[in-house]
Chain A
Amino acid sequence: MTILQASFIAVGVVFFVAAALAVFRIVRGPSILDRMIATDMLVATLICTFAAEMVYSGHTRSLTIMLILAMVAFIATVAVTRYVSKQDPS
């Protein structure tokens, strides 16, 4: 195993830990807003991971998936926050 490969694995592990922390926040909550934020972050980490994998294996096929994720990721957040704001007027 070369140093290059080892560093790629390290990068992968770091992304994994970041995603795991986001999942931890989704599970723990406590409010639906926290879960939304964490979901957003999970998607962003996913986009980054796709990119890292593309660099590692030297192809560009995942670009479209990254693009679509980047485009639709925020729609869910906006929908949920609208719902939360309406349901709980203060």
Chain B
Amino acid sequence: MSGKARLFISGVMLVALSAFSPSSSLAKDVQGKALVNDYCTACHAETDDGGLARISDVRKTPEGWDMTLFRMQNLHGLEIDSDERFAIIKYLSAEYGLSPSESEPFRYVLEQRAHFNDIAVNDDLDALCGRCHTNARYGLQRRTEKDWLKHMHFHVGQFPSLEYQARSRDRFWWQEVTTETYKELAELYPFKTDAWDTWKGADHKSPAGSWRVTGYRPGIGGYQGMMTVTRDGDFYKADYDLYDMTGGALSGDSKAVIYTGYEWRASGMLNGAETREVYALSEDGMRMTGRWHQAAHYDIGGEFQAVRMAGAEAQVLAKSSDYIRVGQEKEITLHGIGLTGKVSSDKGLGLNVTRQDATSVTVKITAGKNMSPGAYVVTVGQAVTEIIVYDKIDRLQVTPDWTIARLGGGKTPPVTAQFEAVAYMTGKDGDIKIGVMSADWQLHAFDEEAEHMKDVEFAGTINAQGTFMPGAAGPNPSRKYATNNAGNLKIVAQVTDGDTIISGEAQLIVTVQRWNTPPIR
């Protein structure tokens, strides 16, 4: 099983590396088409309208096609090498892909986020599909009505336990999915859409060029800098010149493929750690957004936003800090594009520019003792941002307020959970977000059962940055019932604000390893 899991990971992501060197011409879509005709037609017959059975009735993300090929290789005897596999995925993603607007609601799963909010359209679909998959899994597929029905036949043929599982055995599963559900899915996620027709025929922009990058690493903080993308055959090379908010360098590069005209997938290195990048290029080619993560730890990574330098309006994209306390003086750096204009602010905020160039402005900000708390506008020429002035913290919110972490061991690394303490003050029209504060972190038993089972002792530890590191997987002979180190924990953050200690709480379920880790969960 673990061997298969690794193959999965090697799919779309590593393709960029393996196919990069020898012969980049392999990646051409025309070659992908020839390979599909060579390999797939052994089973997938040509249809009356010139397509191929099943293949021409389905649209998927590159990861979706990667998983299909994985299944064909492992269960149906397809034998192809990694270059051929890559060319086929590239062709199928171009011919039968998802438009930017179709993939947009479900990018969290493509981005391999450890924490996300996965909401089904309705409870039935959540029980029928979402009990095993993320709801994004089927939301990232488009099929003809006929093919959604075939998908049901496949499911119960491949997974005979399906009808017996909890949230399935209380309903006439087979009857329901073959009379109702497939039609509902065909309506929600139809094969033919205007969005796809338009995107397929659109002028897809090249990512080559110079980009202003800002981003955020949960638990660590913001980063900013530049990315230069150059074309190399069918691939792209990105060179990063990035810095965290204390000025520490984050340097590296990556090799990328653009699938479906906008899906940036890359393998790279950042400060010596191997990374994977999952970004979407905007339809106008002016922005790139997404998430990167460590190759070995999908839970550890950063938010990423890039704005193309050429033709960009003046704008502030990130700040070294979002807030200042009444009576304090603080140096804050604004990062963005076209920041050459005059620096000014709402009345009352003291500004003293200490350094300024087109991409960064450092300002010594003074919040006088008598200032009213609130959001103060700061402008740099045409670029506008806000600094929050607060006098006291009224509420501390731990985010996420509920999440899971997974125990680690053997070939399956732990999945950490990252918490942050976000401060709020009470304003006239409701709470005003101040920003992320450094906090003292504590673990407590969430309830009596967790207390009884001593979950705090076994489930893991939390560090000063709010990162929860789960314990080791497997039965633990020193625990009651020799059970594993799973736990139900209350995460408590405490921030000292003047003479007051403000607390916030979240819940963390520490659960077992996940053995099956396909690109789309």
On whether the two chains bind one another, the answer is no
Chain A positions near chain B (C-beta within 8 angstroms): none
